[in-house]
Amino acid sequence: LNKVIPYKLSDIGEGIREVVILEWYVKPGDKVAQFDSICEVKSDKASVTITSRYDGTVTKLHYETDDVAFVGQPLLDIDTEENDETSKDEDVIEPEPSGDLTNKTSGIGGVKTLATPAVRRLATENNLNLADIAGTGKDGRVLKEDVLRHIEGGSAPVPTPAPVAPAPQTHSMPPSAPHAPAPQTLKAAAPRAPPPAPAGQDRTVQLKGVTKAMVKAMTEALKIPHFGYGDEINMTQLVELRSRLKVVAEERGLKLSYMPFFIKAASLALTHYPVLNSSVDATCENLTYKAAHNIGVAMDTPEGLVVPCVKNVQGLSIFEVAAELNRLQSLGLAGKLGQADLSGVTFSLSNIGNIGGTYTKPVVMPPNVAIGAMGRIQVVPRFDENGEITKAHIINVSWSADHRIIDGATMARFSNLWKQYLEDPLSFVLDLK
């Protein structure tokens, strides 16, 4: 007996009531089997793949791509032979595991393979390495039929792999960097594009996804009495050191920017001022000193601002921080950051300087109590210790802290220590584990 079942979006947790449909993998008339991917949705936190619990035929999609779908409401209708819908009338939700919507291949150049968790499971159950299977889906995504075809011994046209950051090969540092320092140049601004045609008429859009999350987070942040503190850091030595280490990092398949130094210096300074790595509860009665330094990094992505975090920075080398940042940045650019990467932030840094600017006023994200933001490195004259004018690479940092918890002196002492590591980067050597 066939039965058309409205397949509901189940509770994803974390209080999420709605998601945006990013992509449908099925259309009316398609046959689906259990664990087949149905669609990809995005909550205000992360991308999630929805898979089927039924064998059947899709009869109707309740939403178009980019629509907002609500928890508890039908996503699509499936014509199934099964009668007992009571236990199965909601979808299976598979959050993308942290950093791994991609199953890493052993492949050349660290190319990664895109696949949904259900497809990955199917490959694992059949002892297959996803890297060995040619994906025919979007951006080379390995689909269920690709795995089945592989099991049956068939082959598919090999697609061009999606460009992703190469995987780090090793994290250990060489005893010395055998490369001559390269002169540091700041990137020129992009050539100015002609202005787009004027709109002509007003346009109203619904706020969704990352923008909607920003409304919620910033409204909460408005309850915090912000305290601001700024300073300038002489980066001249670090600029030279980074230009040498950047070459070494590239040989290891890693991009090494200034961020890993900012992040590691913050973690070292946080060990001296743990209150800045604490969380305050909603009623401001209890303060939890967080053991892990999970440093959130404000990231400008095609979808907007997100803040993934590098976890447990206290136990990572600068190279390991860079590797993790590379991973988060590739996921962010692809709009594929998972919930695990976006949660658990204990302290944040925002580097707006890759875009421009000198000073900023960062916003503390509750339950955190502090955040720092850096402007662009500028080459400007400064006096050295002999009173001589020298060419200096200067960056400005702006700290914001929750003034209910943090006083100015603590913020200033922390900032001084952070600054010390960055101005004399050799001092890292003493304190790195």
Q: 42-71: which residues touch ligand COA (CB under 6 A)?
A: none
- Number of residues in contact with ligand COA under rule CB under 6 A: 22
Alpha carbons 32 and 116: distance in angstroms, whole number: 15
Longest dimension (CA), the chain: 91
- 272 flagged as catalytic: no
The one catalytic residue in 62, 171, 226, 403 is 403
Of positions 354, 410, 420, 427, contacts ligand COA by CB under 6 A = 354
Of residues 173, 241, 305, 340, which one binds ligand COA by CB under 6 A? Answer: 305
Query: Does residue number 298 form part of the binding site for ligand COA (CB under 6 A)?
Result: yes
| Candidate ranges 14-22, 102-110, 251-259, 415-423; the one touching ligand COA (CB under 6 A) | 251-259
Q: How far is the CB of 210 from ligand COA (least distance, A)?
A: 12
Residue-wise DSSP of 63-82: S-TT-EEETTSEEEEEEES-
What type of residue is 343?
S
Place of tokens 């598979």: 94
User: Going residue by residue from 131 to 170, which x/- string records binding to ligand COA, judged by CB under 6 A?
Assistant: ----------------------------------------
Q: Which is nearer to ligand COA, 258 or 418 (CB)?
A: 258
Whichever of 258 and 319 has its CB closer to ligand COA, that residue is 258
Taking Cα atoms as reference points, which of 239, 315, 321, 324 lies closest to residue 270? 315
Instruction: State which of residues 213, 254, 299, 321 lies at the interface with ligand COA (CB under 6 A).
Output: 299
- Interface of this chain with ligand COA, residues 256 to 285, rule: CB under 6 A: 257-259
Helix axes 117-125, 144-152, angle to 10 degrees: 20
Q: How far is the CB of 347 from ligand COA (least distance, A)?
A: 15
Is 417 an interacting residue with respect to ligand COA (CB under 6 A)? no
Q: 135: which residues sit within 8 A by CB, 6+ positions away?
A: 113, 114, 115, 141, 142, 143, 146, 156, 159
Complex with ligand COA: residue 25 or 262, whichever CB lies closer: 262
DSSP result, 135-151: --SGGGPBPHHHHHHHH
Binds ligand COA by CB under 6 A, chosen from 149, 376, 403, 413: 376
| Distance (Å, whole) CA 327 – CA 333 | 10
Measured distance CA(61)–CA(59) in Å, rounded: 7
> Under a CB-based contact definition with an 8 Å cutoff, are residues 369 and 276 in contact?
yes
Phi, psi of 432 (to 5 degrees): -75, 140
353 binds ligand COA (CB under 6 A): yes
Q: Which of these, 257, 280, 421, lies nearest to 347 by C-alpha position?
A: 280
CB within 8 A of 237, min separation 6: which ones?
423, 424, 425, 426
Establish whether 407 is a catalytic residue: yes
Closest residue to ligand COA, judged by C-beta, is 353
Among 51, 98, 329, 330, binds ligand COA (CB under 6 A): 329
Catalytic residue among 132, 407, 424, 431: 407
- Residue choice 374, 394, 405, 406 for contact with ligand COA (CB under 6 A): 374
Q: One symbol per residue from 172 to 211: x for binding ligand COA (CB under 6 A), - otherwise; what is it?
A: --------------xx------------------------
Min dist CB 74 to ligand COA, Å, is 37
Q: Tell me the H-state helices in 273-375.
A: 318-333, 339-342
Rg from Cα positions in the chain: 25
Q: Which CB atom, from 128 or from 214, has the smaller least distance to ligand COA?
A: 214
Nearer to ligand COA, 136 or 237 (CB): 237
String of contacts with ligand COA for each residue 391-410, x by CB under 6 A: ----x---------------
CB-based burial label for 130 (10 Å; 0-12, 13-18, 19+) = buried
In three-state secondary structure terms, 307 is: coil
Q: Residue 77 or 320: which CB sits closer to ligand COA? A: 320
Residue (130 or 322) nearer to ligand COA, CB? 322
Minimal distance in Å, beta carbon 307 to ligand COA?
8
Ordered DSSP codes for 388-430: -EEEEEEEEEEEEEETTT--HHHHHHHHHHHHHHHHSTTHHHH
Is the distance from CB of 324 to CB of 317 less than 8 angstroms?
A: no
Closest approach of Cβ 185 to ligand COA, in Å?
A: 8
Looking at 278, 350, 398, 415, which residue binds ligand COA (CB under 6 A)? 350
Binding residues vs ligand COA (CB under 6 A): 186-187, 257-259, 297-300, 305, 325, 329, 350-355, 374, 376-377, 395
Residues assigned a catalytic role: 403, 407
